[in-house]
Amino acid sequence: MMRWALGTLLLMGLFACQSSSLGPEPTEIEIAALAWIDDSTDAVAHLTQQPATCLTTPDDISVKRGALLFSSPLLLGGQAAKAELRCAACQRNGRGNDAFVFTGISGAPGTADVTHGLFSKIRADDVFNPVPIPDLAQAEGRRLVDRDAPGALETFLSEQIVEEFSGTPPEDHVIEDLAAYIRALDEQACDINAIEPQAWQSEIDLVRVTLVQKEYSGSYKDAMRAALGRIHARYPAHPEIRADLVALSRDIASYADLMAVLPALDDLSRALSAAEQGSLYNPERLARALR
Amino acid sequence: MKRALLVAVAAIAFSGVPAMAGGSGSGSSSPSSSAPSYDPVEEYQSGVEALQAGEYKKAERAFKRVTKVAKKDANTRYMLGLAHLGQEEYKAAAKSLEKAVKYDAKLYRAHAKLGMTYLKLEKPEKADQVLAALADASMACASSCPESADIAAAIAEIEAARGSAEPLETSSLAPVVQQVSLETGDVLYSEALRLINLGAYDEAIAELREAGTILGPHPDVLTYIGFANRKMGERETALSFYTAALSIAPDHLSANEYLGEYYVELGDLDRAQAQLDKLNTLCPFGCEQTEELSEWIANART
């Protein structure tokens, strides 16, 4: 009897320790991508994993900046941006998204009507004609535009942003970085069927790379702040980390020399790492939160 | 996750279209998916379910709870009127339906039920007033507006009862509320945002009104009814809908943005700036609503 009671106490103590290090269970999930998942999809897997990175030059600085911009809602403008949609919502990690469903825009999961007037009137055609979302690393995605013809991909991307969505015409260097990212997407660079975890580290890596460039247009600042926002959504049980993320985002918005925020980014990385198990990057934690 | 619903925007997304609308301060794409933080929507939908089940007292209680928050929501007043009709409480029904048509003169199904209720109450002169109002609307509409079929149906229903020698049967006033999925409301909302993008504001308002009947007083829907009215020059109407949306969801991003734009149009840049300051607080990681209102204010100052 005594041993049973002692065991129970020990278990309770262990549980209490674990709970306090993980933080309280979140009661509300703010992950934007949750709104675009087909009901039949395993949400936990979808929100904690993604198609493998398929980049021929993953360490190229321009490719990394392009990857960050690819996840920036404000690049698209209009209703898409208001819904926090971004290029990477459809092309996760530059690949595809079989689970994508957006009311009024999608037919079957994984499709979108790219000429729907909801996002832009320029290409609106009054016909509901959703098409499968292509994987940009595979032939279906590479066929969209000749990536080798000089300027063709750049023109295509600029028109997508302005005409398919309601974005303002991006600066040339923004388009150059996006184009570098798209050109680097190639199925030969990975196991095409592999998956990898979604992680705050990759978001922070892209922010860090973008911070150290010398000239910042608004688009890069927007993209960095959006990345911090996505991490913020994954740490609902850690108010101090969240406050640091908000402070960093505001500093990025207001500072002229962003190198000044690098120490804060280092501190933040350490805090994110220490609290990772309690974040919604942890599938078990996310599964409990989704129940 | 999308259940069978909501809009858009919005957004409202919305937001997610209107998920697109950025509803409830989030970027949800559709109103139904952002509803959990918004009690009046749940109350409204439970009231509709009760009406469909013939549980009129329960429906009445639900709609009355909604009116405590969404005081001037015409759909809720209409539904409350139906709940009273189901209980054969005709005076109370007339009172609710009068408010419904007062808060939204284009909710013609409410006009129809009001006219019929007046006949039941043996007040034919009041039913005639309803008919006259509908005739005026029909003239103004000239069969070309999105509501022309609703107007014609309302006139036909009241005239048929008015012309009958027999007393109006109770069954003719029994509420009939069709079962419609929340997803239908979301699709209507999405379609409305598409129409707004194309500048078809009248048609958009009709879609939003229909979405509101299904979804209830959702802030995404209210915001875009306000937006479409503002684009048509109906600023006071727009303000009333923005106010209604913000009374339900004070942090609604798009409602705050469009209220700021409304102030810019009035030349009240101090108030517009206050809206922008609020949005900056609500969007620590940036948002489209802040970007757009910033641009409006900057343009007004140059």
Interface ipTM: 0.90
B16/A81 touch (CB, cutoff 8 Å), yes or no:
no
Higher pLDDT, A16 or B59: B59
Q: Do A103 and B7 touch (CB under 8 A)?
A: yes
B14, β-bridge pairs: B19
On chain B, the residues whose CB falls within 8 A of the CB of A287 are none
Percentage of the residues of chain B whose pLDDT score is greater than 70: 87
pLDDT tens digits for range A262-275: 999 999 999 999 99
DSSP state letter for A148? S
Q: Of the candidates B43, B37, B75, B39, which has an alpha carbon nearest to the alpha carbon of residue B59?
A: B43
Residue A55 backbone phi and psi in degrees, to 5: -120, 130
Distance CA(B84)–CA(B113), nearest Å, equals: 11
Residues 6+ apart with CB under 8 A from A37: A43, A46, A47, A99, A100, A101, B1, B2
A73 part of contact set with chain B, CB < 8 Å: yes
- On whether the CB atoms of residues B105 and B112 are closer than 8 A, the answer is no
The pLDDT of residue A24 is: 80
CA dist., res. B251 & res. A105, Å (int): 26
Min Cα separation A48/chain B (Å): 15
CATH number at residue B98: 1.25.40.10
Residues 189-218 of chain B with CB under 8 A from chain A are: 189-191, 193-195, 197-199
Q: What pLDDT score does B258 carry?
A: 98
pLDDT digits (tens, 9 = 90+) for A50-67: 999 999 999 999 999 999
**pLDDT band, residue A7 (cuts 50/70/90):** low
Whole-model pTM above 0.80? Answer: yes
The single residue listed with the structure tokens 């879609």 is B207
A287 CB within 8 Å of a chain B CB: no
Residue B166, pLDDT above cutoff 90: no
Report whether pLDDT(B204) > 70: yes
Q: Is residue B215 part of a domain?
A: no
Q: Is A35 in Cβ contact with B2 (below 8 Å)?
A: yes
Which of A30, A103, A221, A242 to mutate to test binding with chain B, by most B CBs within 10 Å of its CB?
A103
pLDDT at B37: 46
**Backbone region of residue A111 per phi and psi (left: phi > 0; alpha: psi in -120 to 50; beta: other values):** beta
Token pair in block for residue B289? 């609503």
Task: Tell me the CA distances in angstroms from A229 to A52, A246, A288, B77, one per residue in order.
Answer: 23, 8, 22, 40
Residue bearing the bigger pLDDT, B99 or B183:
B99
User: With contact defined as beta carbons under 8 Å apart, do A180 and A201 qualify?
Assistant: no
On the question of pLDDT at B16 being above 70, the answer is no
Q: Tell me how far apart the alpha carbons of residues A266 and A94 are, in angstroms, rounded to a whole number.
A: 27
Contact A231, A242 (CB under 8 A): no
What is the average per-residue pLDDT within B82-95?
Answer: 96
Q: Determine contact: B223 vs chain A, CB below 8 A.
A: no
Give me A269's structure tokens.
């990385």
Closest chain A residue to B36, measured at CA: A28
Does B128 or B18 have the greater pLDDT score?
Answer: B128
Percent of chain A exceeding pLDDT 70 equals 92
Percentage of residues in chain A having pLDDT higher than 90: 79
pLDDT at position A17: 44
pLDDT at B177: 81
Q: Report the pLDDT averaged over residues B40-54.
A: 94
A228 touches chain B (CB under 8 A): yes
Residue B168 structural domain: 55-173
Residue B281, in any domain of the structure: no
Confirm whether B289 is domain-assigned: no
> What single letter denotes the amino acid at residue B178?
Q
Å from B75 to nearest chain A CA? 23
Query: Is B93 part of any domain?
Result: yes
Q: Can you tell me whether residue A112 is helix, strand or coil?
A: strand
Query: Looking at per-residue confidence, does B269 or B22 come out higher?
Result: B269
Q: What is the reported pLDDT for B30? A: 63
Range with lowest mean pLDDT among A204-208, B6-10, B166-170: B6-10
Interatomic CA distance for residues B59 and B113, integer angstroms:
17
Domain-embedded: residue B293? no
Whether B183 and A103 lie within 8 Å, measured CB to CB:
yes
Sort A197 into a burial class: Cβ within 10 Å, 0-12 / 13-18 / 19+.
exposed
Contact A82 B10 (CB under 8 A): yes
Question: Does B168 contact A at CB distance below 8 Å?
Answer: no
Which range, of A44-48, B74-78, B165-169, B238-242, averages the lowest pLDDT?
A: B165-169
Q: Do B288 and A232 touch (CB under 8 A)?
A: no
A62 versus B13: the higher-pLDDT residue is A62
Distance CA A87, CA A210 (A): 18
The domain total for chain B is: 1
Closest of B100, B98, B111, B27 to residue B70, by C-alpha: B100
Interface of A with B in 19-48 (CB under 8 A): 28, 30, 32, 34-39, 43
Asked whether residue B94 is assigned to any structural domain, the reply reads yes
Nearest CA-CA distance, residue B65 and chain A, Å:
24
Identify which of B28, B193, B285 has the shortest CB distance to residue A226.
B285
From A285, A276, A278, A249, select the one nearest A265 (Cα to Cα): A249
- Is residue B100 domain-resident? yes
Mean residue pLDDT of chain B comes to 87
pLDDT band at B239; cut points 50, 70, 90:
very high
pLDDT value of position B25: 41
CA-based nearest distance A186→chain B, Å: 31
**Residues of A whose CB is below 8 A from B191:** 104
Residue B163, pLDDT score: 82
User: For the segment B99-156, what is each residue's pLDDT rounded down to a tens digit?
Assistant: 999 999 989 999 999 999 999 999 999 999 999 999 999 998 877 788 889 999 999 9
